[in-house]
Amino acid sequence: MTAPAPIRVLSDAVINQIAAGEVVERPASVLKELVENAIDAGASRVEIEVVDGGRRLVRVRDDGTGMDRDNALLSIERHATSKLRELKDLDVIATLGFRGEALAAIAAVSQFTLVTNREGSAAGTEILIFGGKIQDVRDAGAPRGTDVAVRNLFFNVPARRKFMRSAPTEFTHIRQAFLLEALAHVGVEFVLRADDADVYRLPATERLIDRIRDLYGAEIADHLRPIQFGNGVVEIGGFAGIPPCSRLDRELQVVFVNGRPSGSPVVNFAIQNAYRDVLSGGRFAPVFLRVDLPSDLVDVNVHPAKKEVRFRRPTEVRDVIVEAIRLAVAGADLPRGKRDDLPRDAARPHAYPPATAPGPETAPPPAAPVAVTQPKLDWTPPAVPAAESAGSAPAAPWAEYRLLGRVGGTYVVLETADGLVLMDPRSAHERVIYERLLGAMERGTVPAQGLLPPATVAVTPAQAAALRKHAALLKPMGFGVAEFGSDTFLIDALPTWIAGVAPGPLLSDIADGLMQGGKGAAKDWAQPLIASIAGRQAVGLQRELNDAELNALIRDLARTEMPYTSPRGKPTVILLGLRELNRKFGRE
């Protein structure tokens, strides 16, 4: 039997290469670390140059404070930093970098050059490092700031180098890292050059929306709504995309926590939850989210590359994010009607017009629409108000509209101040019914239907604990639920609109939702059911609505909180702005 190898202390070279494997995954990691050092140094301009997707060169120049020779030499030592002094400083980190590992790790696996100078210094400093070994330190003529060039990354670690991808693939990662930094620091001018060609030249700006427009164009920026919400501890800002603008990937979902580009499972879940009833599965709206909270409530020291953070009060953060996005997407930045403004009997879905659909679910007739006269060619007709309730204005993307006609006997065409709106009456009616049912449930005005005989349902101990804790939430929602022995509950009433649902699986689903916690969890289980009911009760496509019916439906859609999609994620409207029409006709 072979004797075990003796334990030895690793050499500094091996230690640095191991550390580099944790901090530096690919050229994009180098860009991120160098740019964040520049931001921490107070740079107002950051210029980045890459060659061969960053495999041959990643160079970052800034006009920050720079360093003198002593500090420059210290900056390339492991765990040397100006941003921490004591262990307690980890709890209140306000800078992007703090570990003092990045430069040493990068220099250990590259041909590394650092040129830096402080304002007022007689000369700058140039340091040349080859695979972690200092080759030369000399004076250099240089402007204020720092210039770091990283050449031939992983040249001395063949096993790592062979895992780098092609130049186009590596540049895709470089570009994404650049975009994150540019979005996080809109007050800084950024330049990105690749293989001697300009890719981005971004002027400094005071507004995030301007940087978004510079990076992604007006089509994305025009479909964003501002986010501004908080609870005094957690403050949420940024922009949320409205459902007509969505993608099949999460590339345009960007999160900044205390100014740091980062992510968290809590934040990802909150974004997904906020859009759950307005986007179909597999679609993702653009979100540029800023989460600000006291630094002692967030731990940024949980990932070697600082890509992820951990919150000390995750449920609170999640709830505030969900509410912030929902308010923004519902048009909280615009005057809008509120669900509480609807009539007390709004739980009963409308048919259009009521006279053609008699029965117990029939609602009072809608107000007579304003007549729309066929215009002369050069005449601008009076517009029809989108919403007429006192003290209430529309949440829809139109303040006024004119009904132009129909397409294919199904879709409706509206003219607005911003262009054209195409509306699907069935999806629009689903949205109206859905929000009325959901509003009745939230207000506790849901009628209940007794069960004869009552049903007894056994649940798990954890589910039983959740039901006991939140029992007071269920009665206003139309449920008659009482404890009936150990982990068993008696159900003697259900909301009328789900009276036919099996009580056992239903109560189990409710308990699972309650166990997940968070504001609104008590009703989360109900939303898919309400959406299904709204779909069944919505007006069918076999009958063409007349003008009076359409005007009533348009006004009702305008009073909803989310007029853009049906509760099942299908579009209710498609917006064709004047800018887009001009572009299609070559007028731009």
246 pLDDT more than 70: yes
End-of-domain residue from the set 202, 230, 252:
202
Evaluate whether residue 6 is within a structural domain: no
Q: What pLDDT is attached to residue 471?
A: 80
Q: Which residue has the higher pLDDT, 308 or 468?
A: 468
pTM for this structure?
A: 0.63
Q: Is 171 helix (H, G, I), strand (E, B) or coil?
A: helix
Nearest to 544 by CA among 376, 428, 408, 372: 408
Same domain (yes/no): 397, 533? yes
Residue 166 belongs to a domain with what CATH number? 3.30.565.10
Instruction: Give the range of the structural domain holding residue 239, as residue numbers without chain letter.
Output: 208-329
What letter does residue 41 receive in the DSSP assignment?
T
Same domain (yes/no): 218, 194? no
Same domain (yes/no): 21, 169? yes
Going across the sheet that includes 145-151, the strands are 133-140, 124-130, 111-117, 145-151, 57-62, 45-51, 189-194, 197-202
Please give the Cα distance from 197 to 283 (Å, whole number): 34
Write phi, then psi, for 479 (nearest 5 degrees).
-100, 140
What percent of the chain clears pLDDT 70, i.e. is strictly above it? 74
Q: What pLDDT is attached to residue 8?
A: 61
Task: Write the pLDDT tens digit of every residue in 362-384.
Answer: 333 333 333 333 333 232 333 44
End-of-domain residue from the set 329, 360, 386:
329
Same domain (yes/no): 541, 407? yes
Evaluate whether residue 307 is within a structural domain: yes
Q: Which residue has the higher pLDDT, 550 or 307?
A: 550
Evaluate whether residue 109 is within a structural domain: yes
Cβ neighbours for 439, distance < 8 A, ≥ 6 positions apart:
339, 340, 342, 346, 347
Residue 308 belongs to a domain with what CATH number? 3.30.230.10
Same domain (yes/no): 191, 215? no
Same domain (yes/no): 241, 375? no
- Of the listed ranges 7-11, 132-136, 154-158, 418-422, the one predicted with least confidence: 7-11
Same domain (yes/no): 399, 444? yes
Same domain (yes/no): 180, 60? yes
Mean pLDDT, rounded, of the chain: 78
Q: What pLDDT is attached to residue 3?
A: 62
207 pLDDT more than 70: yes
Q: Is 492 helix (H, G, I), strand (E, B) or coil?
A: strand
pLDDT range class, residue 173, cuts 50, 70, 90: very high
Task: Write the pLDDT tens digit of every residue in 106-118.
Answer: 998 999 999 999 9
58 pLDDT more than 90: yes
Same domain (yes/no): 321, 407? no
Nearest to 575 by CA among 222, 275, 338: 222
Same domain (yes/no): 198, 273? no
Evaluate whether residue 7 is within a structural domain: no
Q: What pLDDT is attached to residue 351?
A: 44
End-of-domain residue from the set 329, 347, 375:
329
Q: What pLDDT is attached to residue 50?
A: 97
Can you tell me the mean pLDDT for 152-165?
88
What burial letters (b/e) apply to 234-249, b meaning 16+ CB within 10 Å?
bebbbbbbbbebbeee
Burial of 290 (0-12, 13-18, 19+ CB in 10 A): buried
Rg, the chain, Cα only: 30
Nearest to 225 by CA among 238, 235, 234: 238
Can you tell me the mean pLDDT for 167-189?
94
Yes or no: say if 518 and 319 are a contact pair by the CB < 8 Å rule.
yes
* Residues in a beta bridge with 257: 260, 291
Same domain (yes/no): 296, 355? no
Please give the Cα distance from 219 to 250 (Å, whole number): 17
